[in-house]
Amino acid sequence: MTVPLVAPAAPRRAGSRSPLSLTAVRLDSGSRLGAWQQRNAAATIPHCIGQLEEAGNLDNFRRVIGESEAEWRGFWFADSDVYKTIEAVAWEIARTGTTDFDSWLDDVIGLVARVQEADGYVMTWIQGVHPEKRFAELDWTHEMYVLGHMVQAAVALARAGRTDLLDLAVRFVDLVDATFGPGADQVGYCGHPELETALVELYRHTGERRYLDLARHQLDHRGSGLLKVGSLGARYFQDHAPVRESQSAVGHAVRQLYLNAGVTDLVLEEGDQSLLEAMRAQWDSAHHRKMYLTGAFGSRHRDEAFGDDYELPSDRAYAETCATIADLHWNWRMYLAEGGARYAETIERELHNALAASLDETGTRFFYSNPLQLRPDRYSEENAPRERTPWYACACCPPNIARVFAQLSGYVASVDGDALAIHLYTGAEIDVPDALGGGTVTVRTSYPDAGRVEIAGPAGLPVALRIPTWAADATVDGAPVAPEADGYARLTLTSRPSVLDLPMTPRWTQANHRVDSVRGCVALERGPQVYCVEQVDLSEQIRLDDVVVDPTQPPLESDGGLRIAVTPRREVGPLYGAPSTAPTGEPVTVRAIPFHTWGNRASGAMRVWLPAS
């Protein structure tokens, strides 16, 4: 039996690309990604554990078996937040061997075991509040979604060396298989995709083919119109067309992206080219016509959905954190399926912008939605507050953040043919697989603050280095480098360290002219980071809403950010009228900061896209 890697996605089917174990990539705690991972372990995971108790998630389990008299609290799928937190703990154990969370795991897994019914079923909202809805309203009940997170947590924990949750999860999966799987009397799939990718990973871990068959069975039937979609329509649930015929990213953004991750997992195991073609079309739709500059997705609040092509409002961006996380999972699987730097570059954009902005510097306050503009007088909404909050009634995002940062090292590098491919530039030590000759590669860099990346390792080791699309003048050891068709430059290490230099010149970016909401505006980028301007960096006499920039003037690097010249308008003018000829004030310089750091100093206006003069 093949033993799967200790990694979030560990394909069994042989391919030219394969991930590395989390234990094989050790992030330097002084690097950006390493520091985030350390903060996650020290602050975010413990915070999530505390909030599960405070918000009632664990009491919901206790009340089912009479161990609590508390009223039900949270959303009907609140169990999933428990499982995501367990998954975060599991990857932290796998990564470091920590025992800090053992007693908590003992308590929580023991609680789940006591709540689980004899046939394997466990979902506390159904069991304790609406038992009549068991498997009766798959469009809304989220039963298989919750099971998906239970399975992912169980597999992660098993890869960290503990199998008690896996035993419970398998019992629930077996129930679903018997009820809705191949050969069952009825067909059923969840209104919220997530179980599919979890089933494939369960197959990878156990070698039980029937779990892969169940994932395929559900994916083959999605789009057959079985869900009672109501006023939101079939597109919201991705139930409007068979997966192979669905060419556009539509509906609820998180659901679509989780579904695509599961489809791509099936491609990795079975090599189905028709599914891969569908995923390529989906990828182009999502990333070429519906992705925000920051790597966020979902332009509509009402249904948390993708909008039309190029419908990307900055101030009303929903841009749910979970959508960025789901897309990160999907991009990693697309890279494993066919290679290509575009997938890793998207992950990098997401990590350094939308995902990093979703939590504050303490790692204990979070954004659910991540707009690219905050108006000075915008009211606060439950899932779109003006400031980050410690938790949410629908708390899907905080524990999702925790599990991703715990597994960050799994996305830094991989095996690509006969080379070690490096995708994310960060200080790290990388153990080279025996198949490539063994040894250790050391990466030293302060990226993305600077573009110098030093790589040292066994002489003769082939290395593939991702060259970002914005780094046209990149050099290796002082010589210009041209990436191959897949976006990677290949070299062979020698006894001396190789040095990749990526130009970090700040640049102005313009959106496609079809993006009406930011026509006439520019955004500032440097390396993989998007920048923004906050009201706190302007004087009280100048409102952020009134400034324009001249993109012919290059930004200046200063005090950990960039300084740009802006010109305030002197008059607000009428709501409507002739084209304005109102005079402007004198130019002033203002600090622009990385988008992911906004909102840490004051609650005030913020803009990524600035009107250009």
**Which tens digit of pLDDT belongs to each residue from 496-544?**
999 999 999 999 999 999 999 999 999 999 999 999 999 999 998 999 9
Distance CA 52, CA 48 (A): 6
Q: Where are the alpha helices (DSSP H) in 312-368?
A: 321-338, 341-350, 356-357
Q: Residue 43 — pLDDT band, cuts 50, 70, 90?
A: very high
pLDDT above 90: residue 258: yes
Give the pLDDT confidence score for residue 385 in this predicted structure.
77
Give the pLDDT confidence score for residue 574 in this predicted structure.
84
pLDDT above 50: residue 236: yes
Residues 521 and 571 in one domain: yes
Question: Strand 25-27 vs strand 428-431: parallel, antiparallel, or unpaired?
Answer: antiparallel
**Inside any domain, residue 3:** no
Distance CA 220, CA 35 (A): 42
Q: Which residues are catalytic?
A: 304, 396
Give the pLDDT confidence score for residue 605 in this predicted structure.
94
**Inside any domain, residue 174:** yes
Residues 232 and 353 in one domain: yes
Q: Residue 377 — pLDDT band, cuts 50, 70, 90?
A: confident
> Which range has the worst mean pLDDT, 41-45, 230-234, 309-313?
230-234
pLDDT above 70: residue 3: no
Residue 219: which of 238, 204, 205, 236 has the closest Cα?
Answer: 238
Is the bond preceding residue 579 a cis peptide, omega within 30 degrees?
Answer: no
pLDDT above 70: residue 333: yes
Residues 92 and 40 in one domain: yes
Residue 196: which of 280, 266, 121 has the closest Cα?
Answer: 266
Residue for token pair 């470091």: 96
pLDDT above 90: residue 581: no
- Report, as an integer, the average pLDDT of 215-227: 96
Give the pLDDT confidence score for residue 381 in this predicted structure.
75
Residues 459 and 547 in one domain: no
Find out whether 347 and 355 touch, Cβ atoms under 8 Å. Answer: no
How much of the chain is in helix, strand and coil states, percent to nearest 5?
40, 15, 45
Residue 357 main-chain phi, psi, to 5 deg: -75, -15
**Inside any domain, residue 74:** yes
Residue 606 main-chain phi, psi, to 5 deg: -150, 145
Distance CA 183, CA 171 (A): 18
Bridge partners for 558 per DSSP: 561
Tell me which residue range forms the domain holding 533.
Answer: 507-611
**Inside any domain, residue 87:** yes
- Report, as an integer, the average pLDDT of 221-227: 95
Residue 201: which of 192, 212, 185, 190 has the closest Cα?
Answer: 212
> Which range has the worst mean pLDDT, 68-77, 239-248, 581-590?
581-590
Residues 228 and 344 in one domain: yes
Please state, rounded to an integer, the average pLDDT across all residues of the chain.
Answer: 95
**Inside any domain, residue 366:** no
- Calculate the CA dihedral of residues 285, 288, 289, 291 and round it to 10 degrees: 100
**Of 47-61, 373-387, 551-565, which one has max mean pLDDT?**
47-61
Whole-model pTM above 0.75?
Answer: yes
DSSP 207: -
- Report, as an integer, the average pLDDT of 76-85: 98
**Inside any domain, residue 257:** yes
SS3 523: strand
Residues 184 and 48 in one domain: yes
- Report, as an integer, the average pLDDT of 276-299: 98
Residues 176 and 38 in one domain: yes
**Inside any domain, residue 480:** yes
How many domains is the chain partitioned into structurally?
4
Residues 52 and 125 in one domain: yes
Residues 398 and 429 in one domain: no
Distance CA 211, CA 530 (A): 41
Q: Residue 4 — pLDDT band, cuts 50, 70, 90?
A: confident
209-221 vs 164-180: helix crossing angle, rounded to 10? 50
pLDDT above 70: residue 2: no
- Conformation bin of residue 319: beta by default, left when phi > 0, alpha when psi is -120 to 50: left
Residues 247 and 183 in one domain: no
Q: What is the pLDDT of residues 338-369, one digit of tens each?
A: 999 999 999 999 999 999 999 999 999 999 99
Find out whether 235 and 186 touch, Cβ atoms under 8 Å. Answer: no
Q: Calculate Rg over the CA atoms of the chain.
A: 24
**Inside any domain, residue 315:** yes
